[in-house]
Structure 1
Amino acid sequence: MNDRISPTICSNSSDASRVRVKKLVVSGMLTALTVALSGFSIPVGASKCFPIQHLANVLAGVFLGPVYGVSMAFSASLIRNLMGTGSLLAFPGSMAGAFLGACLFQKTRKLLPAYLGEVIGTGLIGGLLCYPVAALLMGKDVAVFFFVAPFFMSTLAGTILAAVLLAMLRRLGLFSYFERLINE
């Protein structure tokens, strides 16, 4: 009796597993990069502007999709908070931007919507979501739109860095190579 399973029977499930593992590894690498560079922040008002998080959000959104992008943003925010280099405000800002940027890229397959999704998701939606976090969990008395401007500046800086990096990858022919490498 033959105990081996035919490769043709398993090819779809093993291919899907391989892609999931690749995406998990890349997500972990982006999380590690984000945490390792968490010392690079710019204080603006009551929040810390952290452009590396937004750079990673765009890369995760473009190469990994919304589930892995949001998971990476959450993991990086959690680790940064545990290390004392982040605040509770990192969660709503980074996760909203990662989600919207990834969804828009997935829908259009264009980079500009991904950039706009990160900026609007973090700068506007994330900035507004920080109000209840600051008021209820941190005990801060701030206006509803208090975090929008600093989050917008932070995400704009990180998104510009991501746009420059992705433009260089495209020119070098590495953008499509990375997409194939992760998704095959």
Structure 2
Amino acid sequence: MNTKKLTITAMLIAINVVLSSVIIIPLGPVKAAPIQHLINVLCAVFVGPWFGLAQAVISSTLRMIFGTGSVFAFPGSMIGVLLASVFYIYRKHIFMSAIGEVIGTGIIGSLICIPLAWIVGLQHFAIKPLMIAFIVSSMIGAIISYIILMMLKKKGILQRFL
């Protein structure tokens, strides 16, 4: 079972890193990537919180190295995938996982980025634009992942992964 989760996690990391260079919402030093949020919801449903957390850390690190992410990717993606997983485990509903991602990344993750901005020397970093960018980015990714997962569920494919 762990080999299956590890394989799915590795594939989602690869997809995340490659596709995150395609769609980016830039806001100063922040590079919000809806693909990260899409992958977070997929991880919440397919592999759960711990493999999802590993995906978020590895993906954020690789995105930083390749220049398609920033240090602000860490809190948003990590909290987003954990909350999406908890919501999914609690309700076993794909929609709740998507909501968990938006709350985790869009609201909590963006708030945690404020002290992080101060640490890296951005004392005048504005919370409202940051939160709006994170919410929009996480909503886009969550909606797309919800559509993908519902299509997989409708075709009976999702059950094979769970």
TM-score interval for Structure 1 and Structure 2 normalised by the shorter chain: over 0.9
Q: TM-score, normalised by structure 1?
A: 0.83
Q: TM-score, normalised by structure 2?
A: 0.94
Tell me which of 148, 157, 161 is aligned to 1:174. Answer: 157
Does residue 141 of the first structure (1) align with residue 134 of the second (2)? no
Task: Please give the residue correspondences for 1:1-184 in structure 2 after superposition, counting only pairs within 5 Å.
Answer: 19-46=1-28, 47-179=30-162
List gaps (5 residues or longer) in structure 1.
Answer: 1-18, 180-184
Residues 131-169 of structure 1, C-alpha deviations (whole Å, 9 max, x = no match): 111111243521344421100000000001101101110
Give the greater-gyration-radius structure (CA): 1
Q: Give the distance between the partners of 2:12 and 2:24, measured in 1 at CA.
A: 20
Aligned-pair distance for 1:45?
2.6
Instruction: Please provide the CA RMSD for this pair.
Output: 1.3
Aligned-pair distance for 1:49?
2.6
Identical aligned residues as a percent? 39
Q: How many residue pairs end up in the alignment? A: 161
Q: Give the distance between the partners of 2:161 and 2:59, measured in 1 at CA.
A: 22
SS of residue paired to 1:161: helix
List gaps (5 residues or longer) in structure 2.
Answer: none
Q: Contact (CA 8 Å) 2:25, 2:137: kept in 1 or not? A: no
